[in-house]
Amino acid sequence: MSITGHTGLMSTGDHSGYIAGRYRDGALSDTWTDVVRCARGTFVGFVPVCTCDWTGAIQPATVAGFQASQHALVTEHLSPAPAPSSCGGGSPQYPQTAGTR
Residues 2-59: tens digit of each pLDDT: 444 344 555 556 767 899 999 999 999 998 899 999 999 999 999 999 888 889 999 9
* pTM more than 0.95: no
pLDDT at residue number 16: 75
Beta strands per DSSP E along 1-101: 2-4, 9-12, 15-22, 45-50, 59-60
The answer to whether the CB of 59 falls within 8 A of the CB of 47 is yes
pLDDT at residue number 50: 87
Domain ranges of the chain: 2-78
